[in-house]
Amino acid sequence: MREPVDLDLDGPLPSRRAPGNASESQILFGALVTILTLATEMKRLSAEPPQKENMLAREQTRLEGALARKEAQVEDLSRRLAERISAENARVVQADRHAARLQQDYGDLRREKDQLQSQKDQLQSQLEGITSSRAWKLLTVLHKFRLRIAKLLGSG
Protein backbone atom coordinates (compact mmCIF):
# COMPACT_ATOMS: atom_id res chain seq x y z
CA MET A 1 0.00 0.00 0.00
CA ARG A 2 1.01 3.50 -0.58
CA GLU A 3 1.37 6.12 1.98
CA PRO A 4 -1.35 8.71 2.03
CA VAL A 5 -0.60 11.71 -0.02
CA ASP A 6 -1.25 15.09 1.45
CA LEU A 7 -2.69 17.26 -1.21
CA ASP A 8 -3.08 20.91 -0.86
CA LEU A 9 -6.36 21.42 -2.64
CA ASP A 10 -6.75 24.97 -1.44
CA GLY A 11 -3.56 26.21 -3.00
CA PRO A 12 -2.50 26.48 -6.62
CA LEU A 13 -1.59 23.32 -8.43
CA PRO A 14 2.07 22.87 -9.16
CA SER A 15 2.90 23.56 -12.70
CA ARG A 16 5.89 21.41 -13.10
CA ARG A 17 5.57 17.77 -13.61
CA ALA A 18 7.05 15.64 -11.00
CA PRO A 19 7.11 11.88 -10.80
CA GLY A 20 4.56 11.98 -7.92
CA ASN A 21 2.20 14.15 -9.95
CA ALA A 22 0.99 11.22 -12.05
CA SER A 23 -0.18 9.38 -9.02
CA GLU A 24 -1.76 12.53 -7.64
CA SER A 25 -3.51 13.02 -10.97
CA GLN A 26 -4.90 9.54 -10.83
CA ILE A 27 -6.18 10.10 -7.31
CA LEU A 28 -7.66 13.42 -8.35
CA PHE A 29 -9.24 11.82 -11.43
CA GLY A 30 -10.66 8.99 -9.31
CA ALA A 31 -12.03 11.49 -6.83
CA LEU A 32 -13.58 13.55 -9.64
CA VAL A 33 -15.17 10.45 -11.17
CA THR A 34 -16.54 9.48 -7.77
CA ILE A 35 -17.77 13.03 -7.12
CA LEU A 36 -19.38 13.24 -10.58
CA THR A 37 -21.00 9.85 -10.09
CA LEU A 38 -22.28 10.93 -6.68
CA ALA A 39 -23.41 14.29 -8.08
CA THR A 40 -25.31 12.53 -10.87
CA GLU A 41 -26.89 10.15 -8.36
CA MET A 42 -27.76 13.07 -6.08
CA LYS A 43 -29.34 14.89 -9.01
CA ARG A 44 -31.35 11.78 -9.92
CA LEU A 45 -32.38 11.27 -6.31
CA SER A 46 -33.27 14.91 -5.90
CA ALA A 47 -35.38 14.66 -9.08
CA GLU A 48 -37.27 11.62 -7.73
CA PRO A 49 -39.11 13.40 -4.92
CA PRO A 50 -40.86 15.78 -7.33
CA GLN A 51 -41.66 12.82 -9.56
CA LYS A 52 -42.96 10.93 -6.55
CA GLU A 53 -44.81 14.03 -5.42
CA ASN A 54 -46.31 14.37 -8.90
CA MET A 55 -47.23 10.69 -8.90
CA LEU A 56 -48.71 11.02 -5.41
CA ALA A 57 -50.55 14.17 -6.47
CA ARG A 58 -51.97 12.38 -9.53
CA GLU A 59 -52.96 9.43 -7.36
CA GLN A 60 -54.57 11.77 -4.83
CA THR A 61 -56.45 13.54 -7.64
CA ARG A 62 -57.59 10.17 -9.00
CA LEU A 63 -58.70 9.06 -5.53
CA GLU A 64 -60.47 12.36 -4.89
CA GLY A 65 -62.31 11.96 -8.20
CA ALA A 66 -63.28 8.40 -7.30
CA LEU A 67 -64.40 9.60 -3.88
CA ALA A 68 -66.46 12.38 -5.45
CA ARG A 69 -68.10 9.86 -7.79
CA LYS A 70 -68.85 7.53 -4.86
CA GLU A 71 -70.28 10.43 -2.85
CA ALA A 72 -72.48 11.36 -5.82
CA GLN A 73 -73.64 7.74 -6.07
CA VAL A 74 -74.40 7.68 -2.34
CA GLU A 75 -76.35 10.93 -2.63
CA ASP A 76 -78.28 9.60 -5.63
CA LEU A 77 -79.05 6.32 -3.86
CA SER A 78 -80.06 8.21 -0.71
CA ARG A 79 -82.37 10.45 -2.73
CA ARG A 80 -83.91 7.46 -4.54
CA LEU A 81 -84.33 5.60 -1.24
CA ALA A 82 -86.00 8.63 0.32
CA GLU A 83 -88.37 8.85 -2.67
CA ARG A 84 -89.22 5.15 -2.36
CA ILE A 85 -89.78 5.46 1.38
CA SER A 86 -91.99 8.49 0.82
CA ALA A 87 -94.00 6.69 -1.86
CA GLU A 88 -94.33 3.59 0.34
CA ASN A 89 -95.44 5.71 3.30
CA ALA A 90 -98.05 7.43 1.11
CA ARG A 91 -99.24 4.02 -0.10
CA VAL A 92 -99.49 2.74 3.48
CA VAL A 93 -101.45 5.83 4.57
CA GLN A 94 -103.81 5.39 1.60
CA ALA A 95 -104.21 1.68 2.39
CA ASP A 96 -104.93 2.52 6.04
CA ARG A 97 -107.60 5.03 4.99
CA HIS A 98 -109.13 2.47 2.62
CA ALA A 99 -109.10 -0.17 5.38
CA ALA A 100 -110.80 2.28 7.75
CA ARG A 101 -113.51 2.99 5.13
CA LEU A 102 -113.98 -0.74 4.57
CA GLN A 103 -114.32 -1.31 8.32
CA GLN A 104 -116.86 1.50 8.54
CA ASP A 105 -118.78 0.07 5.57
CA TYR A 106 -118.63 -3.39 7.15
CA GLY A 107 -120.03 -1.98 10.40
CA ASP A 108 -122.80 -0.19 8.48
CA LEU A 109 -123.66 -3.38 6.57
CA ARG A 110 -123.63 -5.42 9.79
CA ARG A 111 -126.10 -2.95 11.41
CA GLU A 112 -128.30 -2.99 8.30
CA LYS A 113 -128.25 -6.81 8.27
CA ASP A 114 -129.21 -6.87 11.96
CA GLN A 115 -132.09 -4.44 11.25
CA LEU A 116 -133.30 -6.57 8.32
CA GLN A 117 -133.04 -9.71 10.46
CA SER A 118 -135.10 -7.99 13.13
CA GLN A 119 -137.71 -6.91 10.58
CA LYS A 120 -137.78 -10.45 9.14
CA ASP A 121 -138.26 -11.90 12.62
CA GLN A 122 -141.13 -9.45 13.26
CA LEU A 123 -142.78 -10.30 9.95
CA GLN A 124 -142.28 -14.03 10.57
CA SER A 125 -143.87 -13.63 13.95
CA GLN A 126 -146.78 -11.72 12.44
CA LEU A 127 -147.16 -14.38 9.72
CA GLU A 128 -147.18 -17.16 12.29
CA GLY A 129 -149.74 -15.19 14.27
CA ILE A 130 -151.94 -14.87 11.18
CA THR A 131 -151.57 -18.48 9.98
CA SER A 132 -152.30 -19.87 13.41
CA SER A 133 -155.46 -17.84 13.79
CA ARG A 134 -158.96 -19.35 13.29
CA ALA A 135 -159.71 -16.91 10.50
CA TRP A 136 -156.71 -18.13 8.48
CA LYS A 137 -157.65 -21.72 9.01
CA LEU A 138 -161.21 -20.93 7.86
CA LEU A 139 -159.88 -19.10 4.76
CA THR A 140 -157.60 -22.05 3.96
CA VAL A 141 -160.50 -24.52 4.22
CA LEU A 142 -162.74 -22.28 2.08
CA HIS A 143 -159.98 -21.91 -0.53
CA LYS A 144 -159.47 -25.67 -0.74
CA PHE A 145 -163.24 -26.17 -0.97
CA ARG A 146 -163.49 -23.65 -3.78
CA LEU A 147 -160.65 -25.38 -5.70
CA ARG A 148 -162.50 -28.74 -5.43
CA ILE A 149 -165.73 -27.23 -6.64
CA ALA A 150 -163.98 -25.60 -9.57
CA LYS A 151 -162.37 -28.90 -10.39
CA LEU A 152 -165.66 -30.75 -10.21
CA LEU A 153 -167.51 -28.17 -12.29
CA GLY A 154 -164.69 -27.88 -14.74
CA SER A 155 -164.45 -31.60 -15.37
CA GLY A 156 -168.16 -32.21 -15.68
Residue 47 predicted with pLDDT over 80: no
Classify 11 in phi/psi space as left (phi over 0), alpha (psi -120 to 50) or beta.
beta
Confidence of residue 82 (pLDDT cuts 50, 70, 90): very high
Q: Which residues of 21-47 are buried (b: 16+ CB within 10 A; e: fewer)?
A: eeeeeeeeeeeeeeeeeeeeeeeeeee
For the stretch 2-46, pLDDT in tens is 455 555 555 555 555 555 566 888 888 888 888 888 888 887 777
For the stretch 92-145, pLDDT in tens is 999 999 999 999 999 999 999 999 999 999 999 998 888 888 888 888 999 999
Task: Please check whether residue 31 is in contact with residue 39, taking contact to mean a CB–CB distance below 8 angstroms.
Answer: no
Residue 12 CA to residue 29 CA, distance in Å, equals 17
| Residue 48: how many other CB atoms lie within 10 Å | 11
Task: Please check whether residue 136 is in contact with residue 130, taking contact to mean a CB–CB distance below 8 angstroms.
Answer: yes
Output the CA torsion sign for 114, 115, 116, 117: positive
Residue 58 CA to residue 151 CA, distance in Å, equals 118
Residue 55 CA to residue 57 CA, distance in Å, equals 5
Is pTM beyond 0.85 here? no
